[in-house]
């Protein structure tokens, strides 16, 4: 019996909690992050900014794997630097989930009845998971 080929998902859509505000004041919330390659994780280690401040690794790494935020398709370190802290934390968590766990779903339980289910933390407004 032949198994159906499973398509590997390499890009993940997301919705930032607050949104990136560009120079014109436009707020961009929807975006796409791709899976990281070994190269994506190695190249930032040679970056002078990372050598001077290891915390900058997050900025350089996310700039490599976030392919768009709203209409911004040139996502560079400057864009990541200007995200709100809550959006940066969101992207860090998403990066960890898709590159370690392979998905953006997390188990939750209803606080009233205790019923367990999964929600997709990457997107949608409240009630759309």
List average pLDDT for each run of 10 residues in the chain, which is 129 residues long: 67 96 97 96 95 96 98 97 98 93 69 78 50
**Of 11, 13, 62, nearest in space to 41 by CA:** 62
pTM of the entire predicted model: 0.75
**CB within 8 A of 101, min separation 6: which ones?**
none
Give pLDDT, residue 103.
58
Give pLDDT, residue 5.
59
Q: Which two tokens mark 103?
A: 């998905």
- Tell me the three state secondary structure of residue 57: helix
């Amino acid at each position: 019996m032949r198994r159906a080929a499973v398509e590997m998902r390499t890009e993940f859509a997301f919705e930032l909690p607050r949104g990136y505000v560009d120079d014109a004041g436009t707020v961009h919330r929807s975006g796409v992050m791709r899976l990281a390659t070994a190269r994506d994780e190695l190249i930032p280690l040679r970056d002078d900014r990372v050598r001077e401040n290891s915390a900058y690794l997050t900025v350089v790494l996310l700039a490599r794997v976030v392919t768009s935020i709203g209409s911004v398709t040139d996502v560079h370190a400057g864009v990541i630097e200007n995200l709100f802290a809550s959006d940066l934390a969101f992207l860090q968590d998403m990066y960890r989930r898709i590159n370690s766990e392979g998905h953006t779903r997390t188990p939750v339980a209803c606080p009233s009845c205790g019923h367990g289910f999964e929600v997709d933390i990457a997107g949608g407004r409240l009630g759309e998971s």
